[in-house]
Structure 1
Amino acid sequence: MKIGFIGCGNMASAMIGGIIKNQVTAPADILASTKTAASREKKKEELGIALTADNREVAAFADVLILAVKPFYYEEVIKEIRDVVSEDTIVVSIAPGKKLAWMEGLFEKPLKIVRTMPNTPALVGEGMSCVCGNEKCSSEDVDTVCRIFAGFGKTEIVEEDMIDVVVGVSGSSPAYVFMFIEAMADAAVADGMPRAQAYRFAAQAVLGSAKMVLETGKHPGELKDMVCSQKGTTIEAVRVLEEKGLRSAVFEAMKACVKKGREV
């Protein structure tokens, strides 16, 4: 299976690294495009794949073609490559807001198109992605994309109208979590802990808590209650978080994120 990437930024690099590490396909069967010679040299050294400046070359090469450019470049790129994309190629979008029907219209011919939404924890093999194929895609085509994305994390199939929600709950949410870790570390520093150590304690606490949700199957509220002993330190901290509106802030932030995703 030959996989092409138009664009080779952080997200594409994370995806390629996972694909190679998990032997989804060989480095020789991956071709990516970047604009500058310096970027091509850097990515070739980092990833051990072939690179080109020609998007059309990538489109003609690929069995699975991943559009890994910013959403505002999609129209330009699709118009550039549409006459060289084979009808057997699976075209994969990782952009928020760009609907299947919109992409089908730009390609001006029937194609297998799959919308996905990965996130940056793909960089460490812990990504969370969704997948949704158009009517031209068979279940085998969707499975092929899921297998690729499983190389750098977990994947679930969703309906297209859920993709904007995925943007809020997993696509953008690493930023919220990083802010939470940073805030906890800052507070620990204020109380005397060295900063590097504070980041380790805060980050490991978040990692362990997330694993408890996934591995125990318990409701997050139940797990929270397990930590909150009577008249203890944790319930006092929870009281302040409730007073300051933590839940409401997260809720409203995610609503704003989803709204923006639908407007892109």
Structure 2
Amino acid sequence: MKVGFIGTGSMGSLLIDAFLSSGALEPCDVLASNRSPNRLLQLKQRHPGISIGSNRETADGSDIVFICVKPLEFKSLIDEISASMRSEQIVVSVTSPVMLYHLESTLPSKIAKVIPSITHCAKSGSSLCIFGSRLNKKDRLLLLRLLSFVGVPMEIQEKHTRIASDFSSCGPAFISYFIERWIKAATAATGIDETLVTRLAGEMLLGTGKLLTEGGFTPQELQERVAVRGGITAEALNHLRSSLEGVFERLITTTHDKYDEDVEKLDALFGLSGIVQAPLDR
């Protein structure tokens, strides 16, 4: 099975690195293209054996094609490769605002959307899977098996793409920002070694994740278990609750507004403006 990657920037190269290091694919299975020849050469130096070429060559030679370009680059790319695509191929968009209907209206191929996460670098985290109407059970299982090498694939409804991505894909940045600010405050206030406290924070996040996914705890139950009434943790939690009032609601509004804006721009590019589609859930 040949797997192509059109776009080898941040997410494209992450997926290639993760699939190869996990054993999901061998270098001879991978085709890649990018508008930057230097980036492609660097990728080939890192992974001898992969095939590099043009977008059309990658599209034509692949059984599964991951499209890893920015939202507003999709239409010109589709125009470039559409003549090379076939009905038996699987095309996978990794860009959340690109809707299934954008690609199913312009390509003959089977269409899926997969939202990966930087956590796949550690063979962890979730990949969000949205399957188009042309994929059969065998196609879905093929994609799920491939993605299971680098994380936990989870099928979701397309209308939940944005909110699910807030957790699985954007979440590492949000949580890292919180941890970064906490670490800086700790080192400034106490002089504790930054490397040490960063390691403590990382191990805490790993353990907390396991308690939520494997230990049977809900977030609220974890808080109740750790925060003894009248204790230090409980007092600090009360401070957090008051300080963060409304923050998460504004975060969700911000990500959804940008998502809706990008979808509208893509509708215009694909000539689908004014067509009534399924509403995007908030």
Query: Normalized against structure 2, the TM-score is what?
Result: 0.87
Equivalent residues of 1:19, 1:151 under 8 A apart: yes
Q: Deviations over 1:117-166 (max 9, x none)?
A: 11111122113111111111101111111122112111111122121222
**How much does 1:250 deviate?**
2.2
Does residue 88 in structure 1 map to residue 88 in structure 2? yes
Q: Deviations over 1:87-114 (max 9, x none)?
A: 111000001111111112233xx32000
CA 9–127 in structure 1, closer or farther in 2 if over 3 Å, else same? farther
**How much does 1:193 deviate?**
0.9
Equivalent residues of 1:164, 1:262 under 8 A apart: no
Q: Deviations over 1:182-230 (max 9, x none)?
A: 0111121112112222221222222221111111121110111111113
Instruction: Give the corresponding residue for 1:36.
Output: 36
Instruction: Give the corresponding residue for 1:211.
Output: 210
**How much does 1:51 deviate?**
4.2
Amino acid at match of 2:62: A
SS of residue matched to 1:156: strand
Q: Which moved more, 1:193-202 or 1:114-123?
A: 193-202
Instruction: Give the corresponding residue for 1:127.
Output: 125
**Aligned 1:213-252 pairs, distance under 5 A:** 213-245=212-244, 248-252=246-250
User: Alignment partner for residue 117 of structure 1, among 106, 115, 118?
Assistant: 115
Amino acid at match of 1:62: S
Does residue 52 in structure 1 map to residue 71 in structure 2? no
Q: Which moved more, 1:172-181 or 1:251-260?
A: 251-260
**Aligned 1:56-205 pairs, distance under 5 A:** 56-107=56-107, 110-190=108-188, 191-205=190-204
Q: Which moved more, 1:191-200 or 1:132-141?
A: 191-200
CA 214–199 in structure 1, closer or farther in 2 if over 3 Å, else same? same
Amino acid at match of 2:158: E
Runs (4+) of structure 1 exceeding 6 A deviation are none
**Aligned 1:8-47 pairs, distance under 5 A:** 8-47=8-47
Quote the Cα distance in structure 2 between the aligned partners of 1:253 and 1:211. 25
Paired residues in the alignment total 261
**How much does 1:171 deviate?**
1.9
Q: Which moved more, 1:12-21 or 1:175-184?
A: 12-21
Quote the Cα distance in structure 2 between the aligned partners of 1:23 and 1:206. 26
> Any stretches of 5+ residues in structure 2 without a counterpart?
263-282
CA 97–37 in structure 1, closer or farther in 2 if over 3 Å, else same? closer
CA 171–262 in structure 1, closer or farther in 2 if over 3 Å, else same? farther
Instruction: Give the corresponding residue for 2:273.
Output: none
SS of residue matched to 2:105: helix
Equivalent residues of 2:44, 2:52 under 8 A apart: no
Q: Which moved more, 1:216-225 or 1:45-54?
A: 45-54
Instruction: Give the corresponding residue for 2:280.
Output: none
SS of residue matched to 2:66: strand
